Amino acid sequence: MQTMTQTDPSMHDQRTATGAPLALLLALTATLVTGCSDTAANDPGQVPTNTTQDACGFAVAAAATIDISERSDVWHDGFYARVEAQTGAGSEPNVHAVVVEAANCRLLELMYGECTSACAADEVCQSTGECAAEPEGLAAGTLRVSGLADAVAIESQSWSPGRYDSPSLLSADLFREGDTVQASLAGADFPGLILGARGVASMDPALTASGYVLTDGEDARLTWTPGPDPDACVSVTLKGRNAVHGAPLGSVIECFGPDTGSLTIPQAIVEAFPTGETPEVTNGYDWPHSELTRYTRTSLDTEHGPAVLTVRSTTYFQMSHPD
Same-domain check for residues 129 and 270: yes
| Assigned domain for 196 exists | yes
pLDDT class of 284 with cuts at 50, 70, 90: low
2 within a domain of the structure (yes/no): no
Asked whether residue 31 falls in the same domain as residue 77, the answer is no
Tens of pLDDT, residue by residue over 179-195, are: 999 999 999 999 999 99
Q: Which residues of 189-215 are buried (b: 16+ CB within 10 A; e: fewer)?
A: bbbbbbbbbbbbbbbbbebbeeebebe
Number of domains in the chain: 2
Percent of the chain whose pLDDT exceeds 70: 85
Instruction: Using the predicted structure, report yes or no on whether residue 10 has a pLDDT greater than 60.
Output: no
Same domain, 25 and 98: no
Residue 42, domain member (yes or no): no
SS (H, E, C) 174-206: CCCCCCEEEEEECCCCCCCEEEEEECCCCCCCH
Together in a domain, 291 and 150: yes
Residue 134 is assigned to a structural domain of this protein = yes
Q: Tell me which of 184-198, 231-245, 289-303 is least confident.
A: 231-245
In Å, how far from its chain's centre is CA 199?
13
The mean pLDDT value for 282-298 works out to 88
Binned at pLDDT 50, 70 and 90, residue 3 comes out as: very low
- Considering the domain architecture, whether residues 164 and 33 belong to the same structural domain is answered as no
Identify whether 175 is part of a domain.
yes
Residue 125 lies in a domain: yes
* 307 lies in the same domain as 196: yes
Q: Indicate the pLDDT class of residue 45, thresholds 50, 70 and 90.
A: low
**CA-based end-to-end distance of the chain:** 52
Question: What is the pLDDT at residue 24?
Answer: 36
Residues 220 and 134 grouped into a single domain: yes
Distance (Å, whole) CA 97 – CA 68? 28
Residues 159 and 218 occupy one common structural domain = yes
Burial class (CB in 10 A: 0-12, 13-18, 19+), 1: middle
Q: Which residues lie closer than 8 Å to 264 by C-beta, 6 or more apart?
A: 103, 219, 220, 221, 222
Q: Is the same domain home to 14 and 100?
A: no
Q: Is 72 exposed, middle or buried (0-12, 13-18, 19+ CB in 10 A)?
A: buried
Residue 28 clears pLDDT 50, i.e. is over it: no
Mean pLDDT of the chain: 87
Residue 111 pLDDT greater than 80, yes or no: yes
Bridge partners, 256 (sequence order): 235
Both 112 and 21 in one domain: the answer is: no
Domain that holds residue 250: 49-321
Would you say 300 and 50 are in contact if contact means Cβ atoms under 8 Å apart?
Answer: yes
- Reported as a pLDDT band with limits 50, 70 and 90, residue 89 is very high
Name the range with the highest mean pLDDT among 87-91, 248-252, 274-278, 280-284: 87-91
Question: 114 and 156: one domain?
Answer: yes
Assigned domain for 282 exists = yes
Confidence category of residue 247, pLDDT binned at 50, 70, 90: confident
Do 199 and 147 touch, CB atoms closer than 8 A?
Answer: yes
Q: Say how far apart CA 288 and CA 106 lie, in whole Å.
A: 18
The answer to whether residues 157 and 14 belong to one domain is no
What pLDDT is recorded for position 283?
65
Average pLDDT rounded to a whole number, residues 13-21: 37
- Give the separation between CA 198 and CA 51, rounded to whole angstroms: 9
Count CB-CB contacts under 10 A for residue 222.
18
What per-residue confidence (pLDDT) applies to 43? 53
Asked whether 312 and 199 are in contact (CB, 8 A), the reply is no
Helix, strand, coil tally for the chain in percent (to 5)? 15, 35, 50
Inside any domain, residue 214: yes
